[in-house]
A and B are shown apart, each in its own frame.
Chain A
Amino acid sequence: MGTSADAVTLTDVRKTYHVGEPVHALDGVSLSIEQGSHTAIMGPSGSGKSTLMNLVGCLDTPTSGEVSVGGNRIAELTDRERTDVRGRDVGFVFQTFNLMPRLTALENVALPQLFQGADREERYDRARDLLERVGLADRAAHLPRELSGGQRQRVALARALVNDPAIVLADEPTGNLDTDTEAEVLDLFETFHDAGTTLIVVTHERHVAERAERIVHLLDGEIEWIEELDDVDGDGHRDADGGDGEEATAALEGESDEQVGEPDDRQPEGR
């Protein structure tokens, strides 16, 4: 069902854990995420958000169904190939930043390329470039503990982008940040999205989710509805003054998952 322009497609994906009795973490989920799109995933705890993240992030394989990331069907891959896809096509941003504590900001950003076999000079050039783009060029030599929460998350974002991945997966990226810093970081996400990065943001905060083009609502392992949000100025560039005060442009009428995979009217940009 996915098209070539899809960064990620999920087709009738099920994930079942056996803890005593079988638990269906995901129960028949189908979803297409177009390249260059910005998708938010919302849902209460236990709705399957994390499982979905793990599958899209190539950390896990589905019990049944098909997950395709950057054109790779991950269920058919060996562990090593899956790790390759993860390193190349997926960038992670975590709630708790997850930077390597003994590496400097620059080294943290350069880390993913290390496992791709890039040489030192190339890695550091690229990492320096990205640190500059997240506004932390002057913090390159600092260790994570010497950085503020917002700065750490910007380093993490730079690291997620360093291999030029097909998608950036952000799991509650602003969960540990105060309101001002949160806005800063989200603006930065949008800047990169505008430049063509495919973003998938898992959050339980409405105002974070509302920055996306659509919100996928999960409940009990199924897609409850997909909420399409209108673009304020029609060019994919949402107003950055956002925060909680941002006008709810959400189409609040419930949409069922029949619409899943429907081509988005927006084209990827910045390519």
Chain B
Amino acid sequence: MKLRQSFRLSWRSIRGHRLRSALTTLGVIIGVAAVIAFVALGASLQAGIIGDISPDDQRNLYGWAADPDTEGGPLAGAQFVFTQDDMDDVAELTEVEAAYGYATIDAQSVTYGGETSLQGEGLIAAGPSYIRESSIDEGSQFEMGEREAVINPAAAGQFEENVSVGEDLEIQLATGGTETVTVVGITDASEGLSPFEGFESAPRIYVPTDPFYADQAVGPAAGDGDGDDEATSVRFLAIVVESPTADEDDVDAARAAAIAYLESDEADASEFLGEDLAITLQTSTELLQQLEDILDLLQNFIVGIAAISLVVGSIGIANIMLVSVTERTREIGIMKAVGAQNRDVLGLFLTEAIILGVIGAILGTILGLVAAALGAWYIDLPLVYPLEYVALAIAVGILVGVVSGLYPAWQAAKTDPIDALRYE
């Protein structure tokens, strides 16, 4: 018997039991939808994160000092150990393009043109090259030692009148003081620039660590009172070391040189370093790798649970196929009496199970993608849905059909026509 005929006959009997077929398929639909939704969401999440790392960012090494046993994301367990002198010296190393501290300065609000906007995120203090020339849309980088700022479009656009280069912003700091900064540049995008910030879009104001961090930093390690001038005695929690290029060898060389220097006696940081405190210097990709690993683990876990529902769905198909075989014993007898071979009968029931599986898989894929699209839209991520998923889902549907239909179809095929014709 030809496949097409087999398909038509099977389709007929599926349509003969619409409700039953629909409910049976539902198990597979839910299973496939759950798997697809979580996989697509996971992929979207990863793409969202990785997509935000600009190629330029690839040559930055983000560093902090923490107990090597500390587990967690960037800055977990970090201590204030790096001084401005350390940074200046690291920047002098031949393997290093630039080095500077990174800090956030708590702020309450920003006032521009008499209008005040809350700025709970604070200011981001870093070196000038933290904002690449290439990502500045208008104006220029700020300079160290100046009361200048580079802001992103979200920060510029939050007032009734857009902030433009050359204007002053008044910033109310969390500690109570007020700083006036001159906007010297506006970036081209509102996403964060490094894993220290996070990559989501938000109004951000970037300022030089000197004088802002030096003035405002407070805390046990901020100044050790040894008589140095304030700007150099302030210690940083986080640092950024830039390699000359994004080339992996250059990045590794810069990392090695920076760590070697910071661990040497010449560095102020070295007095705290030891077994309990080690320097971590990683690129965005490396840092995100940890996050991705965690995401992967979580995703595999969820997909695993979703896959269980797929198994349950398969059992549902197997069950209904067994019922169907029993119900249609007489029909099997008739078919065999008029010349159906065992393989024809086997093919017929297997086709039926596969049709149920494939329909479930296709509808499940559609439902899963819709769910993923809604989810991605809700958490503001680009939806990633590789077309392979659809092909894969259909393959899974066929597999589910074969696995769940094989035994019932075999039962049907080996039915004795004499008994079957007598079956009431």
Chain A proximity of B422: nearest CB distance (Å): 9
Q: Which of B387-422 contact A (CB under 8 A)?
A: 417-418, 421
A163-B337 Cα distance, complex, nearest whole Å? 13
The answer to whether B331 and A80 have CB atoms under 8 Å apart is: no
The answer to whether B12 and A84 have CB atoms under 8 Å apart is: no
A59-B418, A98-B421 as given contacts; A87 in contact with B342, CB under 8 Å = no
Contact of A234 with B by CB under 8 A? no
The answer to whether A115 and B341 have CB atoms under 8 Å apart is: yes
Contact of B227 with A by CB under 8 A? no
A67-90 vs B, CB cutoff 8 Å, 1 = contact: the mask equals 000000000000110011011100
Q: Which of A86, A88, A114, A117 contacts B337 (CB 8 A)?
A: A86
A114-143 vs B, CB cutoff 8 Å, 1 = contact: the mask equals 111101100000000000000000000000
Q: Which residues of A contact B12 (CB under 8 A)?
A: 102-103
A98-B330, A100-B331, A102-B13 as given contacts; A115 in contact with B338, CB under 8 Å = yes
A86-B339, A159-B338 as given contacts; A101 in contact with B331, CB under 8 Å = yes
Q: Which residues of B contact A94 (CB under 8 A)?
A: 421
Q: Which residues of B contact A99 (CB under 8 A)?
A: 334
The answer to whether B418 and A60 have CB atoms under 8 Å apart is: yes
Q: Which residues of B contact A86 (CB under 8 A)?
A: 336-339
Contact of B165 with A by CB under 8 A? no
Contact of A92 with B by CB under 8 A? yes
- Count contacts on B: residues with CB < 8 A to the other chain: 22
The answer to whether B336 and A98 have CB atoms under 8 Å apart is: no
The answer to whether B2 and A98 have CB atoms under 8 Å apart is: no
Chain B proximity of A7: nearest CB distance (Å): 17
The answer to whether A92 and B13 have CB atoms under 8 Å apart is: no
Q: Give the total number of A-B pairs whose CB atoms are below 8 A apart.
A: 62
* Band of interface residues on A: 20 to 34
Closest chain A residue to B16, Cβ basis: A102
The answer to whether A83 and B1 have CB atoms under 8 Å apart is: no
Contact of A62 with B by CB under 8 A? no
Q: Which residues of B contact A88 (CB under 8 A)?
A: 339
B330-364 vs A, CB cutoff 8 Å, 1 = contact: the mask equals 11011111111110100000000000000000000
Contact of A26 with B by CB under 8 A? no
Chain B proximity of A95: nearest CB distance (Å): 10
Chain B proximity of A171: nearest CB distance (Å): 9
A92-B338, A163-B339 as given contacts; A115 in contact with B1, CB under 8 Å = yes
Q: Which of A87, A101, A120 contacts B338 (CB 8 A)?
A: A87
A82-B257 Cα distance, complex, nearest whole Å? 85
A80-B341, A83-B340 as given contacts; A115 in contact with B335, CB under 8 Å = yes
The answer to whether A112 and B331 have CB atoms under 8 Å apart is: no
The answer to whether A117 and B1 have CB atoms under 8 Å apart is: yes
Closest chain B residue to A123, Cβ basis: B5
A234-254 vs B, CB cutoff 8 Å, 1 = contact: the mask equals 000000000000000000000
Q: Which of B1, B2, B337, B341 contacts A92 (CB 8 A)?
A: B337
A59-B337, A80-B341, A87-B338 as given contacts; A114 in contact with B418, CB under 8 Å = no
Closest chain A residue to B339, Cβ basis: A87
A83-B346 Cα distance, complex, nearest whole Å? 15
Chain A proximity of B161: nearest CB distance (Å): 74
A112-B1 Cα distance, complex, nearest whole Å? 10
Chain B proximity of A202: nearest CB distance (Å): 13
The answer to whether A98 and B339 have CB atoms under 8 Å apart is: no
Q: Which residues of B contact A87 (CB under 8 A)?
A: 338-340
The answer to whether A114 and B1 have CB atoms under 8 Å apart is: yes
A102-B13, A102-B16 as given contacts; A112 in contact with B418, CB under 8 Å = no
A60-B418, A117-B1 as given contacts; A98 in contact with B337, CB under 8 Å = yes
Q: Which of A57, A100, A101, A115 contacts B344 (CB 8 A)?
A: A115
A101-B328 Cα distance, complex, nearest whole Å? 10
A120-B17 Cα distance, complex, nearest whole Å? 25
Contact of A201 with B by CB under 8 A? no
Identify the interface centre among B5, B12, B336, B342: most chain A CB within 10 Å of its CB: B5
The answer to whether A83 and B421 have CB atoms under 8 Å apart is: no
Contact of A31 with B by CB under 8 A? no
A80-B342, A86-B337, A87-B339 as given contacts; A59 in contact with B417, CB under 8 Å = yes
Chain B proximity of A102: nearest CB distance (Å): 5
8 tightest Cβ-Cβ pairs between the two chains A and B: A87-B339, A112-B338, A115-B339, A115-B340, A98-B334, A102-B16, A92-B337, A59-B418
Task: Name A residues whose Cβ lies closer than 8 Å to a Cβ of B.
Answer: 54, 57, 59-60, 79-80, 83-84, 86-88, 92, 94, 98-103, 111-112, 114-117, 119-120, 159, 163
Known interface pairs A59-B417, A92-B338; 17 further A-B residue pairs with C-beta atoms within 8 A, sorted by A's residue number: A57-B337, A80-B342, A83-B342, A84-B341, A86-B336, A87-B340, A99-B334, A103-B12, A112-B339, A115-B1, A115-B335, A115-B338, A115-B340, A117-B1, A117-B2, A119-B2, A159-B338
A–B Cβ pairs within 8 angstroms, 6 of them: A83-B340, A98-B334, A103-B12, A115-B1, A115-B344, A159-B338
